[in-house]
Structure 1
Amino acid sequence: MAAHRKPRQRSLGGHTVRTAATIALAGAAGAAGFDGTGHAEPNPTPAQVKAKVDKLYQEAEAATEKYNGAQEKATAAEQRLKALRDEAARKEARLNSAREQLGSMAAAQYRSGGLDPAMQLALSDDPDQYLDGAAFAERAGDRQSAAVARVRGQLGEIERLRGAARVQLASLKSRQAELKRHKKTITGKLEAARRLLSLLTAQERARLEAGAGSATGTRASRTSTDTRDDLPAPGSTTTAAPNSRASAAVSYAYSKLGSPYVWGATGPNAFDCSGLVLAAYRSAGVSLPRTTYAQIDAGRRVPRSELLPGDLVFFYSGITHVGIYVGDGKMIHAPNPSAPVRVAPLDEMPYAGATRVV
């Protein structure tokens, strides 16, 4: 009887291992579908990071302007709601007073009894006096009818006010929900930008920031004479502001160089792009709308070849960024969270148009 030997196991080396590894890799590649998800992507270059971050900042700024617009409308709806509620409260107070008067009339009528007027005349010891009293009662009845009509009118007015308040409340809630959506978009874009920047080394981030802030400049010290119309704005050697208000707005913008960018901020220590424009002209006694979309329509459009210091300059096809022109092809603007308020060339972004507000 032949002896049965246990088959000898072959060593996991050489050709067998290479074959197994090939099969395993092929299986992994097949599972990944050859779509690139089966292996880690290489880190982007600093230039790629900058391009992606710039795009995220632009998208965040577009969402910021939508947030600013929704905030403005929410504030208006809240103020209108308060005014409607205050008016309804005043009318309810007058209504309560009118109801008290009606109650007094009804009580007096009840106390006077309900005898038929003809019977009261027949039983009266002084018919002339009775007839005078009856005429007074008739006039009192007319006054009562008028009082009832006023109460009915007041009730209608109050119901109208309550209906308008309900509409305003619904509008306010809708704006608040819109604010939350825009805020979520903004924070998401900024967080994505932060994560991208974290892929860079400290030296690479420093180089990017140095490039972004090369035109930043320093805070300008200004004297009271610098706001005269015949003086050029700081940094401009060829063109003067057209009037004192434009000059004052430019002066304010220069005084804020180096201030941080914070979305939704309108100063005095931090700004977003339209917030800086709003604050600069507010300092000059000029009221502007809150958003870039509205600011571009707040004055007279001017061609790029005719720009003067103080003109508002807008960028991107969606009109999502704005700066204040200061002369020599430069502006002051609040760029994004990566750079503070600074002086920059107009060609830094896609130019869209300009407006002169004063």
Structure 2
Amino acid sequence: MASHRRPKQPSRTRVTVFSTAAAAAVVLSANAANAAPSEKPNKDEVKSKVDKLYEEAEQATEKLDGAKEKQQKLQKEINSLQDNVARGQDELNQLREGLGSMASAQYRTGGIDPSVALFLSSNPDDFLDKASAMDQLSAHQVEMLKKVQAKQRSLAQQRAEASSKLKDLADTRADLAKKKQEVQSKLGSAQKLLNSLTAQEKAALVSQDQERATRASKRVDLGTGTGKAASGRAAAAFAAAESVIGAPYVYTHAGPSSFDCSGLTSWAYAQADVTIPRTSQAQANAGTRIYSQSDLKIGDLVIFYGDQHHVGLYAGDGRVLHAPHSGAFVRFESMANMPFQFGVRI
């Protein structure tokens, strides 16, 4: 006789597992169908992205240069304050020794007044504030005590100032580390993009960059009418910059064998015995601004980009002599390749 048992139903757990697996398979299939194939960026796309990263790295570099300059300035001020405090403490000790000698002499002669003991107090203000006791002191004693009082106040103020600057220095060092990491991150991203190119594509990019620079590479003869410099110091600065054409761009460097943009200009003017600020933004305010390119002369600073993060030296004929960016070298270039803001005559 045939069996009339009902077929065994699949368990709820098995149904759930199968349903979940089926749903996942549908989702994966849909994603696979909709996903665009991963495409390697072409040479022009890489160049555009790398140029943008280099620009961002230079913006960060100028901020890094400013933080380094602030750190150096703070350290000098702190050292000076600490030296002053040390000398002041020696002077205060000598004044106190003088008061002690005076008290000892009065004691030996039997003429010491009880109030003289307060000469050696670490807080002579308490004594001087008691006007009723002033007639118990000689004019010389009063003068000595006032000197101690003034020296103590001066030392307290200098110690407080040094303490404040030390805190500012610690904050500046933290900011410095952050900005350095930002520059390195931008440069690392740019290098990663460049590494995605073939050797032939890399060579093409280098050739393209060199070709652009070559078109503007005519050297300036400062002895001719067309090579008229803004001043003798501008001529000397420009000649110094010309002497390092081919030196590599290295962020935060200011010569003599490698430079970033403001490092080159500040170094060049230093060779002419002229001190200008370290960063491009500060150099933008270092002299007389010139807004018309037709009024520029050899050796004038030329400022680029709205945030003023790039600077070079005017080289005549609409060209700039500058340290362009990481991976490049000090060279001439057409000013038309960057958004000119204004010139600065030092």
Aligned residues between the structures: 307
User: Which residue of the partner structure matches residue 334 of structure 1?
Assistant: 323
Equivalent position to 2:55, from 44, 58, 69: 58
Counterparts in 2 of 1:40 and 1:90: CA distance versus 1, 3 Å: farther
Equivalent position to 2:267, from 279, 297, 307: 279
Counterparts in 2 of 1:190 and 1:40: CA distance versus 1, 3 Å: farther
Residues 222-252 of structure 1: per-residue CA shift (max 9 Å, x gap): 9xxx98x5436xxxxx342233222222211
Deviation at 1:282, TM superposition (A): 1.2
Equivalent position to 2:332, from 326, 343, 352: 343
1:49 aligns to 2:37 (yes or no): no
Q: CA RMSD in A?
A: 3.0
User: Which residue of the partner structure matches residue 183 of structure 2?
Assistant: 186
TM-score by length of 2: 0.80
Secondary structure at 2:343's aligned position in 1?
Answer: strand
TM-score by length of 1: 0.78
Q: Distance in 2 between matches of 1:29 and 1:102?
A: 95
Deviation at 1:143, TM superposition (A): 2.1
Q: Distance in 2 between matches of 1:65 and 1:316?
A: 13
Deviation at 1:338, TM superposition (A): 2.0
Deviation at 1:298, TM superposition (A): 1.2
Unaligned runs of 5+ in 2: 4-20, 114-134
1:311 aligns to 2:300 (yes or no): yes
Q: Distance in 2 between matches of 1:213 and 1:347?
A: 16
Q: Does the Cα contact within 8 Å between 2:252 and 2:260 map onto a contact in 1?
A: yes
Q: Does the Cα contact within 8 Å between 2:261 and 2:322 map onto a contact in 1?
A: yes
Deviation at 1:113, TM superposition (A): 3.2
User: Which residue of the partner structure matches residue 166 of structure 2?
Assistant: 169
Q: Distance in 2 between matches of 1:115 and 1:64?
A: 68
User: Which residue of the partner structure matches residue 97 of structure 1?
Assistant: 94
User: Which residue of the partner structure matches residue 198 of structure 1?
Assistant: 195
1:291 aligns to 2:258 (yes or no): no
Equivalent position to 2:143, from 146, 158, 168: 146
Secondary structure at 2:341's aligned position in 1?
Answer: strand
User: Which residue of the partner structure matches residue 228 of structure 2?
Assistant: 240
User: Which residue of the partner structure matches residue 255 of structure 1?
Assistant: 243
Percent identity reads 40
1:323 aligns to 2:312 (yes or no): yes
Unaligned runs of 5+ in 1: 4-20, 117-137, 233-237
Q: Distance in 2 between matches of 1:93 and 1:74?
A: 29
Q: Does the Cα contact within 8 Å between 1:209 and 1:338 map onto a contact in 2?
A: no
Q: Distance in 2 between matches of 1:186 and 1:203?
A: 28
Matches within 5 A, 1:118-133: none
Secondary structure at 1:331's aligned position in 2?
Answer: strand
Larger radius of gyration: 1
Q: Distance in 2 between matches of 1:114 and 1:256?
A: 79
Counterparts in 2 of 1:341 and 1:103: CA distance versus 1, 3 Å: same
Matches within 5 A, 1:198-217: 198-216=195-213
User: Which residue of the partner structure matches residue 119 of structure 1?
Assistant: none
Equivalent position to 2:67, from 64, 67, 70: 70
What is the identity, as a one-letter code, of the residue corresponding to 2:54?
Answer: Y
Counterparts in 2 of 1:40 and 1:193: CA distance versus 1, 3 Å: farther
Counterparts in 2 of 1:111 and 1:47: CA distance versus 1, 3 Å: same
Q: Does the Cα contact within 8 Å between 1:213 and 1:339 map onto a contact in 2?
A: no
User: Which residue of the partner structure matches residue 26 of structure 1?
Assistant: 26
What is the identity, as a one-letter code, of the residue corresponding to 2:201?
Answer: E
